[in-house]
Amino acid sequence: MIVAGINTEVGKTLVSAILTEALNGYYWKPVQCGLPTDKDWVDGMLSMKGRSYPSSFCLSTPCSPHLAAKKEGIRIEARNLFLPPLPTPLIIEGTGGLLTPLNETETWADAAMHWKARWILVHRHYLGSLNHFSLTIESMKWRKLPLLGVIFNGEGDLATEEMLLKRAGACCLGRLGWQKQLTSKLVQRIAKEWKPSLLTALGL
């Protein structure tokens, strides 16, 4: 299962932690840019430790992967991003938006579309988010990426959300309200609340 976002900083890491907890899965972010790592944050949110895999590329520079890699003297290629073996659900967090560049010719989607995974799209409400959502959906449809559902982050207009869901041809898997502080107890509580609908969506 791949967690994609309509943009950067929309809540992908939080959603990934919730999904990992709810499905008793494992977390993996193939390309990490910036420190501290999202893996470390997710590890601190889960009820059970050791349920995450290290990134294939862990870069210290907080910027786009293609720039971070260039600054650190390496090159990221889609063919070098291998899925880790595992017996339980794998929650894969994307880097930035769907078309975030890995190098001068390849994007994050170019790597992820070959993994035959279902996708969850995270939408955060902000000025311009409707356009970003629509562009992402069009790109996903063009690539024939199977969208499992959408998660909304922030306080938004329900009628507008329904319009977006209709445009995406997908269901809403969850809504995240504004939180004063993100804690492990909060993540675990939301995971428990979401678990039934997630299992239904997955056909489990």
Percent composition of the chain: helix, strand, coil (DSSP 3-state, to 5): 40, 20, 45
Position 70, amino acid: K
Catalytic residue, chosen from 12, 29, 70, 185, is 29
Q: Tell which phi-psi region holds residue 203, choosing left (phi > 0), alpha (psi between -120 and 50) or beta.
A: left
29 in catalytic set: yes
The two structure tokens encoding residue 14: 């939080």
Task: For residue 5, count other CB atoms closer than 10 A to its CB.
Answer: 27
Residue that is written with structure tokens 């207009």 in the block? 157
Dist CA 44 CA 31 (whole Å): 19
Cβ-based burial of 83 (10 A; exposed 0-12, middle 13-18, buried ≥19): middle
The dihedrals phi and psi of 16, each to the nearest 5 degrees, come to: -60, -40
Q: Which residues are catalytic?
A: 29
